[in-house]
Amino acid sequence: MIKYCESVYKTKRWKTRQVMVGNVGVGGDNPVRIQSMTTSSTRDIEATVQQIMQLADTGCEIARVTVQGMKEADACEGIKNSLIQKGYTIPIVADIHFFPPAAMRVVDFVDKVRVNPGNYVDRRATFKVLEYDDITYAKEIERIEEKFTPLVQKCKLLKRAMRIGTNHGSLSDRILNRYGDTPQGMVESALEFARVCRKNNFHDIIFSMKSSNPQVMILAYRLLVAEMMKLGWDYPLHLGVTEAGEGEDGRIKSAMGIGSLLLDGIGDTIRVSLTEDAYREIDPCQRLIHFAKHYEESKGVAPFTDFRNIETIERRSLTLPKNISLHRDGSVILGVTAKDMQEPNFYKNLGCDVQLGKPKLKISSTDCIVVKEFSNSNMGTILKNLLEVGITTFSQCEFKGVPIHTLQEAREYYSQWEQNNRFSINPLPQESTYLMIQDETENEWKILETVKPDVIFLAPTQDRLHYSRSFFNWLHKKGITTPVILSFTYLVPKEDLIIQAAAECGALLCDGLGDGIWIQAQEDINFIRNLSFSILQAARMRTSKTDFISCPSCGRTLFDLQEVSKRIRLRTSHLPGVKIAIMGCIVNGPGEMADADFGYVGSKPGMIDLYVGKECVEKDITFEQADDRLVELIKKHGRWVEPEVTNEISVGI
């Protein structure tokens, strides 16, 4: 495997060089820094200053503002001076797209400039197939050097930092045609600009590789680090999942992408991009950093040879059992208690509809349950109803469901069988077996080759990521294709549960490791079910609801992004398999819409453009008409279904 981090069996931070952003050190021996971005118009100096002060007071260490033109560039002087007068020294970053003159102007006032290599020199990508032979490509690189060098030299002179921030959705036509819309293309896009910096002996640079798809984002950062290791470079990394959205889904996507990398020791600054007030991004950042720090302090697992391919995602080979209701795209398992089953909305909490008092499966119904206790004979009726619709019942109690055994029990069974069949040539009878792996060693895993379970529940109690990687590596080496359910227990508050489960489960699922999840926590089973399905969807495994890609808002936004996002979600959240992008301005669309099916993009004040894929199909729709026109567009393309009207009936015992 290509080396992309210091260790795959222990969290060991990759040591980068220190880059000073104002008075804040990034990389080196510094802690992981927290960033955010203002949502106010940068021209509104007072509002922007107030937002930055609120961010700083909440724990933000670096603040970014959008600078789309000369007026915004000049406003940054007032913003910086006002903050200093008020006693705030938080570094300011100017975000530049398309307009190099603004960068040349604003660098006088800010501490760092972020440039997007996909649009700093190039016009917006046309997504057309163009021919670039080596000579033409070389001329394009010369054009980059000519236009980018003045900013590099000025940053070097003024001792300003620079972030070369690639976005998956805004790669140039040159990159798209040579490398495709790929993580490799993202890396090369940044390296083109980095080579200009190095040619001018300018090294105060930071990289980022952002995408709204956590899998793509993870691959891009890994490939970038692998390339830097090969080249002997050590520039710091800023981590983020762009257009992650809002609420739990936004936190899940961000934690999956950022958390996966932090647990590999990659990353020097982070931002959780949410379609919410800017200060609300800080808390999940703090939780992610704290969780990664906990991993750094753990001892890890014994070294092993990693079989993963970091250049692409391939799910492990899988043999599904015929008598258990597992889903090929990833299963959701719920642990239930007698109290859970006494709830009037028990079937609903499992994601089922109810007809005539019996459950009916929906796209977001749990696949299996694990009964932890059996206290009422009436429970049998409920479990019988679940079995009839295809929800398997596993048992961890005296109830006669499908039992889950420990490795110790499997060893005892095999030992007893061996003793009773010492003089027999008959093989061990292959009964359906469901085993739980906890903290056993590789030597103890060997019983799996003999017992050959139908399902494995992987439930390590500590250092779950590295233990699980080691276990999957062993399965791969032995050619075992048994489904593995990630069975992780979290005794933490809800806010930490979302972050930690998304980071740990996501780190494995995004690598194709794991065939389902069984999250055990203190929250109610309906919340855990929704969290589980959201994690599977964010990992691009199993789709159970509409996928929204929405930018976090900034000074370029042409409408109230939070309000519009909520409105569109309310009308379209029942369309599983449909991806809808909600973008505040033309900078974040159409490219940043990634693989969205439909796009809702602010084009000018009071006006919206609608997209199908990356093609603009309706322009300058009034804000008042845009929501209805979006629904009509979805219907026109055959992706609309009417929302279900359900009648829940009490089923408690």
Q: Is 557 exposed, middle or buried (0-12, 13-18, 19+ CB in 10 A)?
A: buried
Segments forming the whole domain that contains residue 495: 331-418+428-538
- Per-position DSSP letters for 447-506, written without gaps between them: HHHHH--SEEEE--SSSHHHHHHHHHHHHHHHT----EEEEEEE-S-HHHHHHHHHHHHH
Query: How far from 490 is each of 301, 497, 521, CA to CA, in Å?
Result: 20, 6, 5
Tell me which of 538, 563, 581 is where a domain ends: 538
Alpha carbons 254 and 35: distance in angstroms, whole number: 13
Residue 650 lies in a domain: no
**Least confidently predicted of 331-340, 539-548, 557-566:** 557-566
For residues 456 and 390, state if they share a domain: yes
pTM: 0.91
Task: Specify whether 468 is located in the same domain as 596.
Answer: no
615 and 506 in a common domain? no
Give burial (CB, 10 Å; 0-12/13-18/19+) of 248. Answer: middle
Which pLDDT score, from 0 to 100, does residue 184 have? 96
* pLDDT digit string, tens, across residues 86-132: 999 999 999 998 899 999 999 999 999 999 998 888 776 555 556 77
- How many other CB atoms are found less than 10 A from the CB of residue 74? 18
Whether residue 345 is found in the same domain as residue 475: yes
Looking at the structure, do residues 447 and 515 belong to the same domain, yes or no? yes
At 610, which CATH number? 3.30.413.10
Whether 557 is in a domain gets the answer yes
pLDDT of residue 420: 66
Mean pLDDT across the chain: 90
Q: What pLDDT was estimated at residue 405?
A: 84
525 and 564 assigned to the same domain: no
Reply yes or no: is the peptide bond before residue 552 cis, omega within 30 of 0: no
Q: Which two tokens stand for residue 318?
A: 């899988």
8 Å CB contact between 57 and 283: no
**Residue 36 located in a structural domain:** no
Claim to verify: residue 632 and residue 568 sit in the same structural domain: yes
Confidence of residue 652 (pLDDT cuts 50, 70, 90): very low
Name the residue type at position 55. L
Residue that terminates a domain, selected from 472, 503, 538:
538
In whole angstroms, what is the distance from residue 111 CA to residue 139 CA? 32
Point out the least confidently predicted range of 193-207, 452-466, 606-620.
606-620
Question: Do 523 and 590 have their domain in common?
Answer: no
- The pLDDT value given to residue 177: 85
Phi/psi of residue 624, each to 5°? -70, -30
For range 381-395, the mean pLDDT: 91
pLDDT at residue 284, rounded to an integer: 98
532 and 556 housed in the same domain: no
Count of CB atoms within 10 A of residue 588's CB?
Answer: 29
Give the model's pLDDT for residue 236: 99
DSSP label of 603: E
Q: Which pairs with CB-CB distance under 8 Å and at least 24 residues apart come from 601-610?
A: 602/557, 602/558, 602/559, 603/558, 604/558, 605/558, 606/558, 607/558, 608/559
- Select the more confidently predicted residue: 647 or 63: 63
Residues 462 and 593 grouped into a single domain: no
Quick check: is 485 in a domain?
Answer: yes
> How many domains, in total, are found in the chain?
2
| Average pLDDT over every residue of 582-590 | 66
Q: Are residues 400 and 510 in the same domain?
A: yes
Say how far apart CA 64 and CA 95 lie, in whole Å. 7
Domain harbouring 414, CATH code: 3.20.20.60
Answer yes or no: is 363 within a domain: yes
Residue 260 counted as domain residue: no
Strand boundaries in 231-352, DSSP class E: 238-239, 269-270, 331-336
For the chain, the first-to-last Cα distance in angstroms comes to 54
Residue 435, domain member (yes or no) = yes
61-75, 294-308, 516-530, 565-579 — which is least confidently predicted? Answer: 565-579
Q: How confident is the model at residue 155 (pLDDT cuts 50, 70, 90)?
A: very high
Q: Please tell me whether residues 513 and 561 are part of one structural domain.
A: no
Of 506, 538, 570, the position where a domain reaches its end is 538
Answer yes or no: is pLDDT of 584 > 80: no
* pLDDT at position 648 over 90: no
Those residues with Cβ within 8 angstroms of residue 476's Cβ, 6 or more apart along the chain or in another chain? 307, 316
Region label for 143, one of left (φ > 0), alpha (ψ between -120 and 50) or beta (otherwise):
alpha
What tokens were used for 362? Answer: 């929906």
Q: Name the strands in the sheet holding 547-550, side by side, starting at the edge strand that comes first in the sequence.
A: 547-550, 579-583, 598-604, 607-612, 615-622
Could you give the CA distance from residue 224 to residue 189 in angstroms, rounded to a whole number? 11
